[in-house]
Amino acid sequence: MLNYIKESLKRMAARRKFRTYKHTITDYNFPGAGAFRYASWDTPLSMGKVITSDHYQYYKQFIKEGDLAVDIGANIGDTTVTMALAAGRKGLVLGKVKCLFVGLEKRGLFKDV
């Protein structure tokens, strides 16, 4: 329980601070999708996110080659990537993520963050 509370506090702190993070590039090769590279940000909120062949197979049930799909709340894009693999080269997947800092910058409040 104590570990859960510590991790929860880390996530809350990460949401409140604007920082630049490093990234890790991972190579994947899924049957039916081929080889690709995925860059994941090394943040407290996204550490340990892994794209699996199971995710790809799951979205392949719903998204066919050439389909258009939208990922609302894309965050770091791990789901967007698996959806794009399912849609293939002829398909299109759009990832939408709410960006608080863009809104603040447009209002001239970014300097206060």
Domain ranges for the chain, please list them.
21-112
Helix boundaries (H) for the chain: 2-16, 53-60, 78-87, 100-106
Confidence category of residue 16, pLDDT binned at 50, 70, 90: low
Digit-coded pLDDT (tens) for 35-88: 999 888 777 767 667 889 999 999 999 999 999 999 998 877 889 999 999 999
At 10 the pLDDT is 74
- Taking every pair of Cα atoms in the chain, the longest distance, rounded to a whole number of angstroms, is 48
CB of 88 within 8 A of CB of 66?
yes
**Count of C-beta atoms within a 10 Å radius of residue 12:** 10
| Helix locations, 17-64, DSSP H | 53-60
